[in-house]
């Protein structure tokens, strides 16, 4: 579900955002950005922090949280709150519009693309006089994966 975009382009967008807001361009911020754009799945703050730590980067949780906020502000990262679970993040540049299906039991997130939904949101925008810029479509259900770690065990 990704289109090609170079890491340099993403770094340039982040650099411009930092300059515009008179914020420091630290190596830690760019290392966090690089780590996020090397991923293909959703992640939470703790997963990102642990990954950075495992790669021997010296970043604090506060730096990870603050950098994620900056990346969300400049639209390089999307933040999702899937129900009552902790916030999940994903890269947004070069990552096409998609939708989410979440298992009620194991909280696994499955991405899918359904072009008809794009046409529906365009039709609704036209009908109601809106220029729709984005939309979110989230389905919740119970997965049929027999290995689901949170599936209730039958007695």
Kindly list the structural domains of the chain, giving each domain's residue range(s) and its CATH number in brackets, ordered by start: 1-95 (1.10.10.10), 97-144 (3.30.1490.190)
pLDDT at 155 over 60: no
Cα Rg of the chain, angstroms:
18
Query: Pairing between strand 99-103 and 77-80?
Result: unpaired
Q: Are residues 139 and 101 in contact, defined by beta-carbon separation less than 8 angstroms?
A: yes
pLDDT at 94: 62
139 strand-pairing partners:
101
67 closest CA partner among 109, 35, 20: 35
Q: Tens of pLDDT along 77-135?
A: 988 877 667 888 888 876 566 777 878 887 777 777 788 888 888 899 999 999 887 77
């Amino acid at each position: 579900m990704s289109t090609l975009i170079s890491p340099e382009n993403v770094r340039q967008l982040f650099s411009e955002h930092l300059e515009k807001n008179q914020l420091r361009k630290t190596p830690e911020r760019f290392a966090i950005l690089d780590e996020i754009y090397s991923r293909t799945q959703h992640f939470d703050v703790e997963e990102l922090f642990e990954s950075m730590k495992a790669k021997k980067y010296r970043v604090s949780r506060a730096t990870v949280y603050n950098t994620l906020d900056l990346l969300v502000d400049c639209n390089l990262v999307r933040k999702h709150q899937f129900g009552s679970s902790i916030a999940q993040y994903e890269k947004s540049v070069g990552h096409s519009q998609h939708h989410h299906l979440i298992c009620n039991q194991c909280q696994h997130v499955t991405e899918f693309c359904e072009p008809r939904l794009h046409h529906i949101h365009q039709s609704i925008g036209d009908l109601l006089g809106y220029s729709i810029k984005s939309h979110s479509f989230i389905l919740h259900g119970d997965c049929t994966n027999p290995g689901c770690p949170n599936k209730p065990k039958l007695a």
